[in-house]
């Protein structure tokens, strides 16, 4: 009780001292690994930023945190420093190219499960301070459903599921959605199909998953859009430069930009960060 009251005071305080923004928290996830979540998250964040929104990318991949590697800007501090109580949330926010703000993962999440009540309290209260400071916080999660990933996904309420047109990626995406649904969580899912040959293939893939989700789970699965398979993605990764910086006019960037436009058009009313914060406390407490 005490903890919660304290956490709420933090929250209220941070709202008082800030121009109130409604911070919308999303996770980006997938069933199968290597489908392009991290590249999508980064470049989607940059696309939103270009449209005038403030965005924070949070690397929440338990096993393969690599946002800073993709950006080519080694993080001075990462999540681990926050978990150990050595740094504040503001001190671990790094600034990448195009002023993209991000929190690098490090290997901090293994430690998350071992946090004491006091450390946990610090972590939750620090995360709560982000409320009102950003328009969007994007959590780039690992593939599949580790305990931590589930907590972030369910706390955030909104998740973008990335898949490719490959059958293995599609079935894994479906399995992930089904599992989350069976846990009784009320999450809004949206689909992004990455690495499509053309829009037709993207649409077919999306229709496939949507029909199965509708028929067997009674779940609506809106599609945010498609991203073409684009050799420049891999080139940018090898150069350790964000795709939108290295190849601003390439097909994949244009695809992600269309997705950002769709996404902003569909802005649904959500509880914003307040809800997220209360849920994440509950889930970790
Ligand atoms: N649209 C795309 N076109 C071509 N290759 C892509 C595309 N998206 C991702 N890739 C390839 O897939 C690899 C994995 O992407 P990444 O974002 O790290 O996946 P995840 O975060 O899901 O593990 C990239 O390094 C790149 O080579
Ligand atoms: Mg990744």
pLDDT tens across the length of the chain (285 residues): 344 445 444 444 444 445 678 889 999 999 999 999 999 999 999 999 999 999 999 998 867 778 999 999 889 999 888 888 899 999 999 999 999 999 998 765 666 666 777 877 888 889 889 988 999 999 999 888 887 788 788 888 789 999 999 999 999 999 999 999 888 777 889 999 999 999 999 999 999 999 999 999 999 999 999 999 999 999 999 999 999 999 999 999 999 999 999 999 887 555 556 677 677 766 665
Q: Is 33 in the pocket of ligand 1 (CB under 6 A)?
A: yes
How many structural domains are present in the chain?
A: 1
Q: Is 72 in the pocket of ligand 1 (CB under 6 A)?
A: no
First to last CA, the chain: 11
Compute the distance between CA of residue 132 and CA of residue 56 in angstroms, rounded to an integer: 12
Range of the domain at 39: 2-284
Q: In ligand 1, which atom is closest to the CA atom of 64?
A: 23
What's the pLDDT at 5? 45
Q: Is 253 in the pocket of ligand 1 (CB under 6 A)?
A: no
Compute the distance between CA of residue 284 and CA of residue 148 in angstroms, rounded to an integer: 9
What's the pLDDT at 112? 62
What's the pLDDT at 17? 47
In sequence order, the 6+-apart residues with CB closer than 8 A to the CB of 201 are: 165, 226
CATH number at residue 31: 3.40.50.300
Compute the distance between CA of residue 260 and CA of residue 51 in angstroms, rounded to an integer: 9
Instruction: State both tokens at 268.
Output: 């649904």
What's the pLDDT at 4? 46
């Amino acid at each position: 009780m005490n903890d919660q009251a304290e956490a709420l005071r933090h929250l209220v305080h941070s709202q008082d001292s800030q121009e109130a923004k409604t911070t919308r928290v999303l996770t980006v996830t997938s069933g199968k690994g290597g489908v392009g979540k991290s590249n999508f998250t980064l470049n989607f964040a940059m696309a939103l930023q270009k449209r005038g929104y403030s965005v924070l990318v949070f690397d929440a991949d338990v096993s393969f945190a690599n946002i800073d590697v993709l950006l080519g800007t080694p993080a001075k501090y990462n999540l681990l420093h926050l978990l150990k109580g050595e740094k504040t949330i503001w001190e671990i926010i790094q600034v990448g190219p195009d002023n993209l703000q991000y929190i690098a993962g490090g290997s901090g999440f293994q430690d998350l499960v071992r946090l004491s009540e006091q450390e946990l309290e610090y972590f939750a209260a620090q995360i709560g301070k982000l409320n009102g400071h950003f328009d969007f916080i994007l959590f780039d999660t690992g593939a599949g459903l580790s305990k931590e990933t589930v907590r972030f996904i369910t706390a955030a309420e909104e998740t973008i599921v990335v898949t490719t047109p490959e059958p293995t990626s599609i079935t894994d995406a479906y399995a992930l959605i089904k599992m989350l649904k069976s846990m009784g969580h009320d999450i809004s899912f949206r689909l992004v199909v990455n690495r499509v040959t053309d829009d037709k293939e993207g649409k077919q893939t999306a229709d496939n998953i949507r029909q199965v989700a509708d028929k067997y789970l009674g779940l609506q699965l809106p599609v945010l859009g498609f991203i073409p398979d684009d050799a420049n993605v891999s080139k940018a990764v090898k150069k350790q430069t964000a795709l939108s910086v290295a190849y601003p006019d390439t097909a994949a960037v244009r695809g992600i930009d269309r997705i950002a436009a769709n996404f902003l058009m569909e802005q649904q009313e959500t509880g914003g960060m307040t809800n997220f914060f209360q849920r994440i406390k509950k889930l970790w407490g």
